[in-house]
Structure 1
Amino acid sequence: MSTVGRPPGRGTDEPVGDLVSRASQQISALVREEMRLARAEMTQKGKRFGMGGGLFGGAGLIGFLAAQASAAAVIAALALLLPVWASALITAALLAAVAAAMAAAGRRQVAEAGTPAPQQAIDSVKADVTEIKEATHR
């Protein structure tokens, strides 16, 4: 018999139980190592997602402050032609109109979306249940 392809020191007379035991240990070790690798990868990705989320939040805050500064600039520009109270009132009315239009568009989008339940999946499951019931009664 040839020993080519077999690990050195391993005979063909090794009990199957020992082979299964060794394979089980190796698979367990492999799974543990893969879990360690996955945990390390997820930790690294979690840190990056956290940093990215923080930067997006900071950008949102700065954007909000920029919008406020723009509104103040519009009020100041109108104040050159009108009293300050009138320019502030006009700017507020314009901003309120934009907000109302956005709210109406958002409400329309939500209404078109329908209920948040996965209606197609529910209907499909109901149809499956009905078909199974009919098949068992035949």
Structure 2
Amino acid sequence: MTAPHSPNAVGATRTEQQPAPENASTGQLIGQLTEQISRLVRDEARLAQAEVTQKAKRLGIGAGLFGGAGLFAFLGLAVLVTTAVLALDLVLPAWLAALIVAVVLFAIAGVLALVGKKDVAKGSPPVPTEAISSVKADIATVKESARR
């Protein structure tokens, strides 16, 4: 059996003890910087992916609520048509009941539309704004460290 750090070990990873920055050579410092930048870029990409996924879910919910609002508006229109028919046909209080139902359906459609609009506003634009600001902060930190 080969030791984990031997060159013959299949799939083994090298885990070198990294020296303290004040004792490290320029080559070691550049290697550490490259590794840290790689890790930072991967982490920021994961953050951006999570943020875009969350915003897409909110957009989906908002679109579903808009669909519900459209359905209730259609039902309200159907009840208004029924109201007109009843009003013309019978001139009885039955049309008033149909009119009340139509008003309630339109009120439900209005509430769903407002809730859907709020969710769509929260989810748009589908850009990972938090990840972008985090990357900008990281770049500013790296630039500040490079000046020292």
The structure showing larger relative contact order (alpha-carbon pairs under 8 Å, at least 6 residues apart) is: 2
TM-score (norm 2): 0.44
TM-score (norm 1): 0.47
Higher Cα radius of gyration: 1
